Amino acid sequence: MRLKDALNTVLPQGELDMLVGSFDIVGDIAIIIIPPALSVREHLIAKAILNTHKNIKTVARRTGNYGGEFRTIDLTVIGGKDLQETEHWENGVRFFLNPEKVYYSVRSSNERKRIASLVRPGSEALVLFSGIGAFPLVIAANSQAGEIVGIEKNPDAHQYAQKSLAGNRRIKNVVLYEGDVAEVLPRLNRTFDRVLMPLPKTAADYLAIAIAAVRPGGRLHFYDFQTLDALPRSIEKVRCACEDNHRRLAASEVVVCGHCSPQTYRICVDAQIE
């Protein structure tokens, strides 16, 4: 049942019109955005979600945007159990996470599937800013990649990634490192066929070391926040970083993979680097 239908007899039409009709589901946790004007109704809204979705045990309200170094989000429980670790399936992979302690967005699941579909059999991939291991594990489960390496700084996210890796026993080709990309990546001293940079806010700061890790002819996936009329600017960031590091941007295309504010999109520059 749609949330608005469930609240049809409970809220006046004016309030129903303000309600965002959909919410994210992470395991048994519903995460909803409630406009400030409906704050007084939050417990009613949570009750309606719990009554109509028997698989949901916790309803949490988003009280801020993704922020801080670890890109976590402020959540306030408005119904059901306290926030704790949950088990969530995505693209055939079982993940463990507490959405309060780590970054995870169900809305990027199509993007992860897209990247997995590009990975050639036997090729090696590096995922910088790998979080709970969403990209490495989805690539592993949906391709015939060789080794996939992930690097993540948030200790909680790294621990969940390790737990999810252990919980998906058929995945044997993922290696995860905890630490700052700026420190861990140079120490690896190796190159990859494909390098992913899923940290749209500040990925540009790491372009030089990421490009150095791309084999000649390999692919770089550079994520950025951008307006639709300025997509070439994101390509230019990659082109300039290539030139500064004596490499060449051989080909590029931009994929729009998410919406983050009325004018701004989460985009990915798919680049081939010689």
Ligand X SMILES: C[S@@+](CC[C@H](N)C(=O)[O-])C[C@H]1O[C@@H](n2cnc3c(N)ncnc32)[C@H](O)[C@@H]1O
Residues making contact with ligand X (CB under 6 A): 69-71, 103-104, 108, 129-131, 134-135, 151-154, 157, 180-182, 198-199
Of 125 and 249, CB closest to ligand X: 125
CA–CA gap between residue 7 and residue 96 (Å, rounded): 31
Of 51 and 117, CB closest to ligand X: 117
CA–CA gap between residue 145 and residue 274 (Å, rounded): 21
Of 71 and 194, CB closest to ligand X: 71
Q: How far is the CB of 260 from ligand X (least distance, A)?
A: 11
Q: How far is the CB of 247 from ligand X (least distance, A)?
A: 22
Q: How far is the CB of 44 from ligand X (least distance, A)?
A: 32
Strand ranges (E), 27-124: 29-32, 58-62, 75-80, 86-90, 93-97
Are 83 and 52 within 8 A, CB to CB?
A: no
Of 60 and 134, CB closest to ligand X: 134
Q: How far is the CB of 102 from ligand X (least distance, A)?
A: 6
Of 199 and 271, CB closest to ligand X: 199
Place of tokens 């801020």: 64
Q: Return the HEC string of 202-225.
A: CHHHHHHHHHHCEEEEEEEEEEEE
CA–CA gap between residue 96 and residue 99 (Å, rounded): 10
Of 5 and 180, CB closest to ligand X: 180
Q: How far is the CB of 69 from ligand X (least distance, A)?
A: 5
Are 136 and 115 within 8 A, CB to CB?
A: no
Instruction: Find the residue with minimal CB distance to ligand X.
Output: 131
Q: How far is the CB of 68 from ligand X (least distance, A)?
A: 8
Please give the structure tokens belonging to residue 234. 């994101």
Burial class (CB in 10 A: 0-12, 13-18, 19+), 189: exposed
Please give the structure tokens belonging to residue 75. 């959540």
